């Protein structure tokens, strides 16, 4: 009996696959491969056009200053996309990411802003470290609210986060009166509040603390997802919740913890955003929700849950930023970038559908 099994398996193994099937298998095994190819192709196109041809100001594309700026530009979408990835891995979606980020950021800023600045709320003038901690805690709690509603009342994540998107946007405006807090209004607290935007040079390249923190979030979360039981459970819950439940996994607890963790990461992203933009504004990045989903989907993570890698999300973020820079340096209208992103998203989901049908 074991003999027959072995032959069958050997036969199946020896069955020569067509080139297309080989591609399918490779993409199935490494879902971040297709975004990586897209990224490399994009870089090559822009670099070649910049060096060999006189297209707009693309000759600046491969210069260290541009590369540094592109890297620094990834921090907001990149960090939020980590939160979006773990949510999408559970077959959920978080439309409230931007709203929670802004809310947490405004809590931080309004706590830390100098009490002598004009039009401040009653809570101004706190210790900046305390302000940051409270801001992140509030964002974590907001993520917890999403998780609680989804788990306790069995509501679809799409609906819950659509609701909390409005709720947190409104709360921000009600409590903080749509007031932008400029960096200088932090006075003594500016060093702490703006630390994520602090830059340093390595050779010709300029990096920011925020970029380092974002990469650290990626590394830590990638380890947690692939190296711990919790990570395996996140994948299992997104893949097949019934199977996960029957295997003894507490699906509700895992789901709740995912939204809580997402809230925490969103809180960190809020702090990074203050550093990146040098101010705290309730109107920052209105399209950030869709951009994080775009980064995750382009990065090869399945909207149906259970498959995808964080490294793909990082690549997806780079693709968005590089398209942004490349096309505007080429002198093209912003609309072309939106067009390209749209095509990429649909192509990414089509590829995902195709590789899910893999047969070995």
Nearer to another protein, 236 or 260 (CB): 236
Minimum CB distance to another protein, residue 245 (Å): 8
Closest approach, Cβ 27 to another protein, in A, equals 13
Q: Record the tokens describing residue 97, joined without a space.
A: 């990411």
* Residue closer to another protein (CB basis): 10 or 338: 10
For another protein, the closer of residues 109 and 244 by Cβ is 244
3-state per-residue secondary structure call for the chain: CHHHHHHHHHHHHHCCCCHHHHHHHHHHHCCCHHHHHHHHHHHHHHHHHHHHCCCCCHHHCCCHHHHHHHHHHCHHHHHHHHHHHHHHHCCCCCCCHHHHHHHHHHHHHHHHCCCCCCCCCCCCCCCHHHHHHHHHHHHHHHHHHHHHHHHHCCCCHHHHHHHHHHHHHHHHHHHHCCCCEEHHHHHHHHHHHCHHHCEEEECCEEEEHHHHHHHHHHHHHHHHHHHCHHHHHHHHHHHCHHHHHHCCCCHHHHHHHHHHHHHHHHHHHHHHHHHHHCEECCCCCCCHHHHHHHHHHHCCCCCCCCCCCHHHHHHHHHHHHHHHHHHHHCCCCHHHHHHHHHHHHHHHHHHHHHHHCCCC
Give me the least distance between CB of 166 and another protein, in Å please: 33
- Residue pair 303/88 in contact (Cβ under 8 Å)? The answer is yes
Least spacing, CB of residue 237 vs another protein, in Å: 9
Q: Which is nearer to another protein, 59 or 240 (CB)?
A: 240
Closer to another protein by CB, 178 or 360: give it: 360
| Least separation in angstroms between CB 264 and another protein | 17
Query: C-beta of 79: minimal distance to another protein in Å?
Result: 22
Spatial distance between the Cα atoms of 51 and 62, rounded to a whole number of angstroms: 9
Q: How far is the CB of 8 from another protein (least distance, A)?
A: 9
Binding site for another protein (CB under 8 A): 1-2, 5-6, 9-10, 13, 28, 223, 227-230, 232-233, 235-236, 239-240, 242-244, 246-249, 306-307, 358-360
Closest contact distance (angstroms) between CB of 267 and another protein is 22
Q: CB nearer to another protein: give 135 or 305.
A: 305
Closer CB to another protein, residue 217 or residue 320?
Answer: 217
């Amino acid at each position: 009996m074991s003999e027959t099994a072995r032959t069958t398996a050997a036969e199946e193994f020896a069955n020569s696959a067509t080139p297309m099937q080989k591609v399918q298998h490779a993409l199935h095994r490494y879902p971040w491969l297709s975004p990586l190819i897209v990224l490399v192709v994009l870089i090559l196109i822009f670099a070649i056009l910049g060096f060999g041809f006189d297209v707009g100001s693309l000759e600046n594309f491969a210069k260290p200053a541009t590369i540094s700026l592109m890297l620094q530009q990834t921090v907001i979408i990149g960090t939020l996309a980590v939160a979006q990835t773990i949510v999408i891995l559970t077959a959920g979606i978080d439309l409230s990411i931007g709203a929670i980020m802004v809310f947490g950021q405004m809590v931080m800023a309004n706590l830390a802003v100098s009490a002598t600045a004009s039009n401040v709320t009653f809570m101004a003038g706190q210790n900046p470290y305390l302000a940051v901690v409270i801001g992140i805690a509030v964002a974590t709690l907001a993520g917890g609210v999403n998780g609680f509603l989804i788990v306790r009342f069995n509501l679809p994540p799409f609906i819950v986060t659509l609701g909390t998107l409005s709720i947190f946007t409104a709360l921000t405006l009600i409590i903080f009166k749509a007031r932008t807090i400029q960096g200088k209004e932090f006075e003594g607290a500016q060093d702490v509040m703006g630390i994520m935007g602090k830059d340093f040079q390595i050779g010709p390249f300029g990096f920011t603390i925020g970029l380092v923190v974002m990469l650290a979030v990626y590394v830590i979360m990638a380890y947690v997802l692939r190296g711990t039981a919790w990570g395996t459970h996140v994948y299992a819950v997104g893949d097949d919740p019934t199977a996960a439940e029957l295997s003894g996994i507490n699906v509700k607890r895992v789901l709740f913890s995912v939204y809580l963790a997402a809230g925490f990461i969103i809180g960190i992203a809020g702090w990074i955003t203050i550093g990146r933009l040098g101010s705290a504004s309730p109107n920052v990045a209105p399209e950030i929700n869709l951009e994080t989903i775009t980064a995750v989907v382009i990065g090869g993570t399945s909207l149906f849950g259970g498959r995808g890698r964080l490294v793909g999300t990082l690549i997806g973020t780079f693709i968005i930023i590089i398209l942004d820079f490349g096309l505007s340096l080429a002198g093209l209208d912003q609309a072309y970038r939106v067009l390209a992103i749209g095509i990429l998203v649909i192509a990414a989901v089509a590829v995902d559908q195709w590789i899910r049908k893999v047969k070995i």
